[in-house]
Amino acid sequence: MEDLIAAAAAVRENAHAPYSGFKVGAALVTPEGQVFAGCNVENVAYPEGTCAEAGAIAAMIAGGATRIAGIAVIADSTSPVPPCGGCRQKIAEFADADVTVTMATVGGERKDVSVRDLLPGAFVAGHMGQV
């Protein structure tokens, strides 16, 4: 997980956050060991921005992978910052419930939770009658 935190910290530096000044980086690893990273990209029209986690997931899909085996998110905050609600659902789409989500600060604090604990009662394909 330390490698994922380092990858998330590195990509965080590329974040485009001129409005909030709150840079976030995310990195995920697939079961095959591929690492994909993303950073937040703000837009003056706030709802049009992209979260770091969504960027990492988009990079994974663009790279031909479809499963998350672990994910780390890092920000310059007083405590580890969890993914927003939308990103929790995006993570749950591609990760098993027991996959670890590591939330970290640039100061070295970290918290590990499972996808299940991050998004209890996740909406899944089974709710739509799909396996």
Active site residues: 53
**Can you state the angle between helices 52-62 and 85-94, rounded to 10 degrees?**
30
- Between vectors from CA 111 to CA 52 and to CA 106, what angle results, nearest 5°? 55
Q: How far apart are the first and last CA of the chain?
A: 30
46 has binding-site annotation = yes
What is the distance between the alpha carbons of residues 50 and 38, in angstroms, rounded to a whole number? Answer: 9
Q: Is 14 annotated as a binding residue?
A: no
Residue 39 assigned as binding residue: no
The reply to whether 41 sits in an annotated binding site is yes
Give 74's strand partners.
25, 104
CA 10 to mean position of chain CA atoms: 14
Enter the tokens of residue 8: 């998330």
What residue numbers does the annotated binding site for Zn(2+) cover? 51, 84, 87
Q: Please state the residue numbers annotated as binding site for substrate.
A: 40-46
Q: Which parts are annotated binding residues?
A: 40-46, 51, 84, 87
